[in-house]
Structure formats: C-alpha cells, structure tokens
C-alpha cells in the first residue's frame, strides 16, 4: 500500500503567490494532520482534522487553510506565501485523533522567495 | 507553556549502547512517543509509553517516569544505520502532539 503520499516533493514559490500542498492517504484513517519542520525546532502542528468534514487549528495556523471533503485527502493552502513559510511540510494520519500512532508522508520542501 | 527538552546531538560508537533523554512539561499527559527520522526523510514510529516503566522492542527500549516528567530511549548494539535524529513527543490534554527539537545521533565506526 502507498500509505501517505504528498505532492509536490519540493517547490520554489514567489512571495505573494498561492499554493496548495496535497496529501492523500489510503489507510482509511479518520484523523489527519499538517506539520511544519524548521531547523532547530520541533515539528509544529498547523491544522488537523479528526474526521472528514471537520478541521481544527493547531499551534501555528496563521497564513494557512485546510479542507477535509473526504477521508482520503487533506490539502493545505497558502493563500499568499511569505518567506517565513519556507519550511518542510509533513502530512500525517492516524486511525483516530486520540492516542493512535501518527504515520507521516514523505514531506514537501517549500521555499518562498 | 509547554516544553520538551532533549539533547541536540550525541555521538556513539558502533556496537555500543546509547541513552537519549527527554524531559517534558506539558498541559496534561496522554502518552509519550519516540520517532526516528533519517536526514531528508519522514519521521517513523518507534515507541509509545503511557504507563511508568520500561518497554522493550528488540534493540530499542523506552522508559517513562510520569512523576519526573522524564523518558529515555535506549539503543543497544548500535549499527551505522541508527545514525538519525530521534524525536520525543508528548500527547497533551487536547490529544495534540508536542514535539521536541530532536536529538541527532552520530554513530562512529
């Protein structure tokens, strides 16, 4: 099985442009998450979804939006990118939004110039 | 505030044993996870502790003391492929993972 896939693998984006990072899982997990990982910092939660049709804000939600139209897909949109959004973005999923293990996608490396 | 502390970097020798410590202060506690992350790759699950004590899984063991806000990951019979970052994360009262910055483990022959 593919598990979790993310696209694109990497992207260079001009400041002010919009972009959607894609995330798809085939494990029928109810919960999905978006994190950013920056050098010297722990993973930080951007947004999450405990089940299709619901979303919630994490620690660093400003400048990002998400949707969860179905179980499998959880896209992350940057409406107007800024250089501080340069980061590696990881999507993750878990069977439920409680104590279940989170499984990560391969990540998207985004550079905003 | 919530805080997870772990050493930034550690060095060990192939075949030896290494202990990576993690201390935490969080709003609530619903378990502690350890993940391994090789450079340029995604984190992968190693262990989950919610009760005090030692959990052994092959060459890797994880220990938890909730009263001390402390955990460690013990890696035995180190192999070169164990060179990676090890991430400690605590599940808080909202069931959100709070992550440490990770410990980069360098294995020397």
**Record: contact A98-B99, CB cut-off 8 A:** no
**Record: contact B100-A105, CB cut-off 8 A:** no
Contacts B30 to A, Cβ<8 Å: 98-99
Buried-state track B78-104, b at ≥16 Cβ within 10 A, e below 16: beeebbbbbbbbbbbeebbbbbbbbbb
Position B97 scores a pLDDT of 94
Position with higher pLDDT, A65 vs B1: A65
Rounded Cα distance between B95 and A58, Å, is 11
Rg (CA), chain A: 13
**Record: contact A99-B100, CB cut-off 8 A:** no
Q: Per-block average pLDDT, block size 10, for chain A (113 residues)?
A: 90 98 97 96 96 96 98 97 98 92 97 97
The chain-wide mean pLDDT, for chain B, equals 96
**Record: contact A43-B33, CB cut-off 8 A:** no
Position B10 scores a pLDDT of 98
| Candidates A31, A43, A95, partner chain B, best to mutate (most B CBs within 10 A) | A43
Whether residue B105 is predicted with pLDDT greater than 80 in this model: the reply is yes
Confidence band for B2, pLDDT divided at 50, 70 and 90: confident
**Record: contact A104-B91, CB cut-off 8 A:** no
Position A98 scores a pLDDT of 85
Interface of A with B (CB under 8 A): 40-45, 48, 58-59, 90, 97-99, 101-107
DSSP string, A1-67: ---EEEE-SEEEE-TT--EEEEEEESS--SEEEEEEE-TTS--EEEEEESSTT--EE-SS-TTEEE-
What average pLDDT does this structure show over B16-33? 96
Closest CB to B95 among A59, A98, A104: A98
φ, ψ for residue A84 (rounded to 5)?
Answer: -70, -10
**Record: contact A45-B96, CB cut-off 8 A:** yes
Position B49 scores a pLDDT of 97
Task: Measure B34 CA to nearest chain A CA, in Å.
Answer: 10
Asked if A99 and B31 touch (Cβ cutoff 8 Å), the reply is yes
Position B1 scores a pLDDT of 74
Position A34 scores a pLDDT of 98
Give the residue on B whose Cα is nearest the Cα of A43: B99
Position A1 scores a pLDDT of 57
């Amino acid at each position: 099985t593919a598990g979790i896939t993310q696209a694109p693998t990497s992207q260079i984006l001009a400041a002010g442009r919009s972009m959607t990072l894609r995330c798809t899982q085939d494990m029928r997990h109810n919960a999905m998450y978006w994190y950013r990982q920056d050098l010297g910092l722990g993973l930080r939660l951007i947004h999450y979804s405990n089940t299709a049709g619901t979303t919630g804000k994490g620690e660093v939600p400003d400048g990002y939006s998400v949707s969860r139209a179905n179980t499998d897909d959880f896209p992350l949109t940057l409406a107007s990118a800024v250089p501080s959004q340069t980061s590696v973005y990881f999507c993750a999923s878990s069977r439920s939004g409680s104590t279940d293990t989170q499984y990560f996608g391969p990540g998207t490396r985004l550079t905003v110039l | 505030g919530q805080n997870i502390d772990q050493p930034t970097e550690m060095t060990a020798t192939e075949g030896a044993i290494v202990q990576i410590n993690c201390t935490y202060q969080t709003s609530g506690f619903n378990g502690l996870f350890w993940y391994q992350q090789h450079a340029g790759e995604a984190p992968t699950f190693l262990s989950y502790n919610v009760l005090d004590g030692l959990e052994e899984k092959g060459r890797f063991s994880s220990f938890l003391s909730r009263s001390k806000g402390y955990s460690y990951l013990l890696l035995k019979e180190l192999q070169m492929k164990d060179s990676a970052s090890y991430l400690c994360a605590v599940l808080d009262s909202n069931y959100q993972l709070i992550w440490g910055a990770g410990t980069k483990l360098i294995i020397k022959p």
